């Protein structure tokens, strides 16, 4: 398996553009990663990367080798998947990503039960609200909350998740209750926004009698962590747009109250994404089915909360 491991390391170094990043991805040391690349270069009799103190770039030979190497590993993965499917004994390691709110509330709580049912599958769960490059980061699957862009990824839509604009009663007492999106802009309400490199939602799209409309909201606070925004809203720092499942308990208790209900937010979509070559992997299929069922069960009933007024 040493040659296969060397090829796998080459692919990750090529895709991540860094020896140390590839080593972290493969759960080994930079020295081991460098050694594997050196062994592969010695076997092929060519240099695969040009190395400087600041950059690591593939050579022409490296670019030529990449496509064939990717096909080799895809063939091996598919063959292993067929064997595991035939034996009904999926095994291996799953690399999974999810947004913070989805991961903490839905995915992470279901992982221990999944591990008990499938003891030969290990889970590496990564939570982040930033944009995830599923293929580039070597993930087997990723849960995604938000609009989907065209890609070569396989997509399983889980549910449409209603959202709400809400704030703490203390904020409403101090700044007034905005009736709609126009009031948010006109009265310059403090809106708490999710911002991170690659973020696309710099405006809030709300439902109006004339159809969806984008509003240029403003505010002094922003974060790349959705739960931080919820905490700020609870402290009376401003208005936040959240999927209802993230703030349902606070809405029930009255710690947060709906605002601008004449123009509620558009729902957002929860989906599961996986690279095409991973889609038929039995361990990916089992994990996906279990987590989709768990998410749907957890989301059931939340859309009955009276938090928005339809336009």
Mean pLDDT for 49-77 is 84
Q: Give the tens place of pLDDT for each residue, 131-181.
A: 788 877 888 899 998 877 767 788 888 988 899 999 999 999 999 999 999
Residue 218 DSSP one-character state: B
Residue 240 contacts residue 166 (beta carbons within 8 Å): yes
- Confidence check: pLDDT of 78 > 80: no
pTM score > 0.85 for this model?
no
Q: Which domains does the chain have, with CATH numbers?
A: 2-85 (1.10.10.10), 89-160+269-303 (3.40.190.10), 163-266 (3.40.190.10)
């Amino acid at each position: 398996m040493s040659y296969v491991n060397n090829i796998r390391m080459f692919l990750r170094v090529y895709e991540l553009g860094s020896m140390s990043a590839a080593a972290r991805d493969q759960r080994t040391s930079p020295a081991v990663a460098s050694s594997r690349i050196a062994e592969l270069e010695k076997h092929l009799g060519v240099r695969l990367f040009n190395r400087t103190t600041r950059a690591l770039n593939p050579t022409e030979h490296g670019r030529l080798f990449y496509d064939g190497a990717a096909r080799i590993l895809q063939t091996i993965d598919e063959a292993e998947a067929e064997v595991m499917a035939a034996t009904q004994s999926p095994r291996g390691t799953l690399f999974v990503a999810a947004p913070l709110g989805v991961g903490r509330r839905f995915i992470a709580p279901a992982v221990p039960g999944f591990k008990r049912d499938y003891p030969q599958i290990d889970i590496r769960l990564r939570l982040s609200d930033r944009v995830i490059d599923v293929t580039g980061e070597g993930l087997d699957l990723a849960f995604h909350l938000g609009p989907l862009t065209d890609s070569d990824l396989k997509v399983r839509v889980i549910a449409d998740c209603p959202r709400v604009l809400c704030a703490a009663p203390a904020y409403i007492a101090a700044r007034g209750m905005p009736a709609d999106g126009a009031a948010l802009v006109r009265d310059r309400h403090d809106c708490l926004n999710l911002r991170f490199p690659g973020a696309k939602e710099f405006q809030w799209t709300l439902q109006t009698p004339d159809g969806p409309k984008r509003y240029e909201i403003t505010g002094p606070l922003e974060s790349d962590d959705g739960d931080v925004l919820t905490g700020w809203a609870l402290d009376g720092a401003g208005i936040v747009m959240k999927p209802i499942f993230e703030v349902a308990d606070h809405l029930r208790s009255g710690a947060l109250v709906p605002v601008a209900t004449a123009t509620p937010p558009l729902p957002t979509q929860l989906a599961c994404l996986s690279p095409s070559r991973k889609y038929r992997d039995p361990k990916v299929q089992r994990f996906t089915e279990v987590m989709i069922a768990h998410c749907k069960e957890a989301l059931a009933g939340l859309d009955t909360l009276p938090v928005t007024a339809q336009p």
